[in-house]
Structure 1
C-alpha cells in the first residue's frame, strides 16, 4: 500500500538493537574521545605539548591501554584520525578496544557553522558524504556513530528555525547511519550557557525532544537501534539559583518521559561542562528518582571522565599509570551512578570538583 514503509530488514534490525543494548548494559557507559584536532590541541597546550599527530596518539594510547577499562566502559567514541592510529607496538586502536570487549564508535558530524538569518545560532554540517564515510567506518570496525547539534538558550533562542533544523539534521543523520549498519547516537545538546533557570531549561529540552522524535519517526528511524545523548536539565551557568541533584533529576527524567519513546534502549547523558563529581552525583540522582524510567540511564562523558587524567598525566610518560588510575576511579564512580549506587564524595580525583565549563564549547 502506498504511504506505508518498512524498517531495515530483520537481520539489520537485530544487529542494530544488539549493539545499542550492549552499549547501555548495567554499570557501564561511554568514554567520549572524539575531540577534533583543534580541540585536543588546546588540552595538549595546557600540559606544555605541541599539537602533533604523535602527541594526540600518545594521549589516546594512555586511555585505551588502561587495564580493566572495560569494567565500566562499554564503548568509546573516536575521532576520524583515531580510527587509523596505532599503539607503540603497532596494534590498531580499534583492534585494541575490541580485544578489551569495548565497542568502537565514531563522531561523524563536521562541526557547526552559523545558521543563516538566526540570532547567533548554529547548524551542524557533514550530511553530504555521510553514507560513504559511514560505510568506511563500518568496514574499519566501528559499530555506532555520534552527531552533535548544540542549541543555545537566550531571550529569543532557541528559535523555531534552529529547533526544526536540529530535528531534521539529526533524523537524516540517524537514517543514513542505520542504512550503513551503524547505531546512531542522537545528540541534541541544550547548552549550559546563559542565566536561565531550570524551569526554562526543562521546557526547552521538552520542545527539542518532541521535535527530534517527530522527525526521527518521519524519517523511518528504527528506534530500538538508536541511543540519545541529551543534556541533563540544569540551570544556566550564570543562573544565581543552584538546584539540588534531586531537583535536577526530577526535571531531567520528567522531560525525558515527555519526549523520549520507551522503545529507545538507553539515554547516555553528556556532561555538558559540569565538574567530574557534579556529573557523577547528578547521574546517580537521576537513577534514584522515583519516576518511571523505561530506558537505561547512563553516561557518555568526555571532560567529566578525563579532566583528572589530563591534570595527572601533564604530558609526562612517568605519570601514565597514575593518570590511568584517575580514569578508572572516575569510570567506576560513573558505573555505580548509572545504577544509582554512588555515594557522593566516595571517589576523589585530581580535578573532581573543578569546573569543566567552556562558553560555546566545541569538541
Structure 2
C-alpha cells in the first residue's frame, strides 16, 4: 500500500469496512472487564486484544483499521507476532490513540479540554516506527443547557487542540482521525435532538475553521463525529429522524474534500448504531464515504461471550464477526433488521 496520507485514508474507508476502536485505556477497559468478572491484568488485556485481532474472517472482510492504545501497540500475540503486524497482515491499517484525555478547562466550570500536545511530535515519530499509520484525538463537548453549556470558548479551545494535533500527525506521515464528540449519554443528558443539531453544527464549523487555519490537508484526514441524537434522558426520536438530521448537519458543515466520515457510537445500543448508519447510506447524496468507528458497539457481545475463558474464544470471535458484518452491511446501505437474526 502507498504511504501517502490520501492512500492511507482511502484504505481506512474501504467499501463495506470500518474501524475497530480498541483503544480503551487501562481505566476504561477495567469497566468493561468488571462487567464480565475478569481481572484487569496486562495478560488478560493482551489475551482479549489477541482474540479480536486474530478473528480472521471479521478482520479481513469488515475491518479496515484498528485504533490501539499505547500498551497494545507494543504487545504481541502469544506466538510472538506484533499486533501491528497481525493487523496489517489482515489488510487493515494500525492506528494509535494519542490524546491524554479530557481535563477540566481553566475558568470554564463544567467544561473540559483534551490534553496531550506536549511532546506529541516525538511520540508520533515513535508510533510511526512501531507501525501506526493513523492516529485519534477525542474532544468532549457536553450539552447542559440549564448551565449555558457548551460555551463557544470551550468549543474553540478543543477545536484548536484538534487542529494542532492533526497538523502534527500529517507532518509525520500519519492520518489524523479528528473526533469532536458531542455527548449524548450521562445522567444530565436531557437535551432534545434540535439542541444536539445546533451544538454539533457549531462545533463542526469551528473545528473546520481551525483545521484550515492550521493548514491541515482535508484530503488526508478522517472525521469521527457523533450522530445527531437526543440525550439519553431527553425526548427520543425515530431512527429515520436521527439519520436524516445527521446527514443534514454534515452536509451543512463538512467540506467535500474530506474523504470519509467514521461515526462513533456514543452510548447507542449495538443495533441502533448499525441501523442509523445503514439508513444514512440508504439516503445517500453526500460526497464522502460514511462508515463506522465503533468500540463498545462492536465489542460488547464479543466480551460477554468471552468472559475471560480460553475455551470461549471461538464463540467470542463469532460474536465479533457478526457485529462487524452487520456494520459492514450498514456501511454499504444494505443492512436489514432481519440480518440480525442470523446466527452470530
Separation of aligned partners in 1, 2:166 and 2:69:
18
Aligned to 2:312: 319
**1:76 matches 2:59:** no
Separation of aligned partners in 2, 1:119 and 1:282:
33
TM-score of the pair, normalised by structure 2:
0.95
Separation of aligned partners in 1, 2:158 and 2:223:
14
TM-score of the pair, normalised by structure 1:
0.91
Aligned to 1:190: 182
Matched residue count:
337
Compared CA separation, residues 83 and 349, structure 1 to 2 (3 A): farther
- Is the 1:270–1:301 Cα contact (8 Å) retained in structure 2? yes
RMSD: 1.5
Q: Any residues of structure 2 matched to 1:256-295 within 5 Å, and which?
A: 256-289=250-283, 292-295=285-288
Aligned to 1:361: none
**1:206 matches 2:201:** yes
- Is the 1:114–1:123 Cα contact (8 Å) retained in structure 2? yes
Please give the secondary structure, in 1, of the residue aligned with 2:339.
Answer: coil
- Is the 1:308–1:349 Cα contact (8 Å) retained in structure 2? no
Deviation at 1:175, TM superposition (A): 0.2
- Is the 1:108–1:145 Cα contact (8 Å) retained in structure 2? yes
Please give the secondary structure, in 1, of the residue aligned with 2:255.
Answer: coil
Deviation at 1:242, TM superposition (A): 1.7
Please give the secondary structure, in 1, of the residue aligned with 2:94.
Answer: strand
**1:343 matches 2:333:** no
Separation of aligned partners in 1, 2:4 and 2:331:
24
Separation of aligned partners in 2, 1:45 and 1:243:
32
Aligned to 1:8: none
Aligned to 2:102: 112
Separation of aligned partners in 1, 2:71 and 2:136:
15
Task: Give the number of the structure whose residues are more often helix, by fraction.
Answer: 2
Deviation at 1:46, TM superposition (A): 2.2
Separation of aligned partners in 2, 1:82 and 1:108:
13
5+ residue gaps, structure 2, are none
Please give the secondary structure, in 1, of the residue aligned with 2:244.
Answer: helix
Aligned to 2:30: 41
**1:171 matches 2:163:** yes
Separation of aligned partners in 2, 1:34 and 1:232:
20
Separation of aligned partners in 1, 2:307 and 2:182:
31
Deviation at 1:348, TM superposition (A): 4.3
Separation of aligned partners in 2, 1:61 and 1:130:
27
Separation of aligned partners in 2, 1:164 and 1:143:
27
Separation of aligned partners in 2, 1:76 and 1:160:
32
Aligned to 1:357: none
5+ residue gaps, structure 1, are 1-11, 353-363
Q: Any residues of structure 2 matched to 1:212-231 within 5 Å, and which?
A: 212-231=207-226
- Is the 1:266–1:296 Cα contact (8 Å) retained in structure 2? yes
